[in-house]
Amino acid sequence: MQFFRSEELKQELDDVDSLTEDLEAGAVEARGWPAEFSAYKVAKAAMNAYSRVLARRHPALRVNVVDPGYVRTNMTRNSGLLAPDEGGARVVAVAAWRCYRKAARPARSLAAARRRRPRSCDRRVASTSTRARRIQPCCSSSRRKIMEGAISVPANTRVAVVTGGNKGIGLEVCRQLAGNGVTVVLTARDEARGGAAVEKLGELGLSDVIFHQLEITDASSIGRLAEFLKTRFGRLDILVNKPSMSL
Ligand SMILES: NC(=O)c1ccc[n+]([C@@H]2O[C@H](COP(=O)([O-])OP(=O)(O)OC[C@H]3O[C@@H](n4cnc5c(N)ncnc54)[C@H](OP(=O)(O)O)[C@@H]3O)[C@@H](O)[C@H]2O)c1
């Protein structure tokens, strides 16, 4: 809580045990808690704290929490200040940071890669001229080998998982990552909604998006996704975990 700036939030979270009891008793309003968003604030505070724990425990991983801003999605009943692509860009700027850092060295490689196109396959080149630090694929992904049961992605192509990818900020994150040459595993709890989202991205010419079902609150569902990633790719470079307001 030392990291929170809002005194009001600190006060609310200071007595989280009572909040939980009152929530279970259906007495949140009656006992004077703010009527809206108590559970939301607790969930986000827990997410912040857990991310700090993960970052400390796994120094080899880059763990971040990103505030996308107030975005027009179902969750905000489309009342946000930012369009989904603007909110998504904030997340992608952090998620793709490592790709950018690697690909950006040395600066002249961008021109060199352009000259070589389409000879070399799957090399990603970062443009330093954009604020969003976009990564541009330098040749068509259709040349990638797709083998039975396994997708062979070259070592310098990133593999990302996006949870809650069927709509809102998640769908935007999928679109922007795939548009920047990342192979995306779009997950959703509902197969039909997830499949429809993949189709929608396919219509935009983004074919490196694969659907996998994921119910984020179900450990066996998470296990199935982990197994799928291991078998198909043998690795995971980026995880964007963003489903639901209270998760
Ligand atoms: N929008 C904002 O202004 C804003 C601001 C700050 C932070 N955020 C955070 O950003 C995240 C996404 O928000 P959003 O505005 O994009 O919301 P959204 O449009 O409502 O999308 C939520 C997504 O999460 C999925 N989901 C919900 N419960 C799930 C579960 N148990 N397992 C797997 N997937 C689940 C939903 O799937 P279904 O379609 O199946 O329901 C949907 O794809 C949330 O964590 C939110 O708190 C949003």
What are the extents of the domains in the chain?
1-64, 66-240
Higher-confidence position of 134 and 235 = 235
CATH code that applies to domain 66-240: 3.40.50
Q: What is the mean pLDDT of residues 99-113?
A: 41
Tell me the CA–centroid distance for residue 73 and ligand 1, in Å.
9
Tell me the CA–centroid distance for residue 151 and ligand 1, in Å.
29
DSSP 141: G
Tell me the CA–centroid distance for residue 194 and ligand 1, in Å.
13
- Which pLDDT value is given to residue 33? 77
Whether 40 shows a pLDDT value over 90: the answer reads no
d(CA 164, CA 177): 15
Whether 215 shows a pLDDT value over 90: the answer reads yes
- Which pLDDT value is given to residue 150? 52
d(CA 127, CA 121): 18
How far, CA to CA in Å, does 25 sit from each of 13, 19, 21, 22, 138? 18, 10, 6, 5, 57
Q: From the CB of 194, is ligand 1 less than 6 Å away? A: no
Q: What is the mean pLDDT of the chain?
A: 78
Higher-confidence position of 119 and 188 = 188
Alpha helix (H) residue ranges in 58-190: 84-95, 97-103, 109-116, 168-179
Contacting residues for 103 by C-beta, under 8 A, at least 6 apart: 109, 124, 125, 126, 135, 156
